[in-house]
Amino acid sequence: MSTTSSFIVKDVTTHFNEFEEEFFNLYRSLYGDIDQLRFKERLYRHANPLVLLAFSEERLVGFKIGYEAEPYRYYSWAGGVHPEFQKHGIGRKLMDTQLEWVKAQGFHSIRTKARNTNKGVIILNLLCGYDIMGAYTEDGAPRIMMEKQLHD
């Protein structure tokens, strides 16, 4: 758990079920409808899941979720910050906390993707040292694949 001014980031991986309703409400407000069962199945069928949630007081305001994609490579799968709380360092703190954990677990790289329309996420990833690996189309929308090598 880490604290920065007016928000706190918590690792809730082992008790995510306590926050599911709040999480899925926030997710839907950012990205639209979601199949909750399919989401949880995907998260927990992979090794080394990590669920980080950011709270401002008691309100859930952000999240960063990932899992082991293959040996030595982590996949940063889902993340977001409530629009009222964007541009306050919450996304960066979630990303930094995830990166610290991923490094501590011995992974060599971390990969992520973003919709081309999500410029803020792409810029944050680039500022955090991710490299663009390529672009592709998924569900008719362009996506950007990025990866960060984890060297000490």
Query: pLDDT digits over 6-57, tens only?
Result: 899 999 999 999 999 999 999 999 999 999 999 999 999 999 999 999 999 9
* Res 2 pLDDT > 60: no
Closest-CA residue to 80 (of 36, 27, 43, 35): 27
* Res 152 pLDDT > 80: no
pLDDT of residue 20: 95
> Each residue of 127-144: pLDDT tens digit?
999 999 999 998 898 999
Mean pLDDT of the chain: 92
Residue type, 109: S
* Res 3 pLDDT > 70: no
Q: Whole-prediction pTM value?
A: 0.91
Structure tokens of 136? 């592709």
Q: Cβ distance 112 to 69 under 8 Å?
A: no
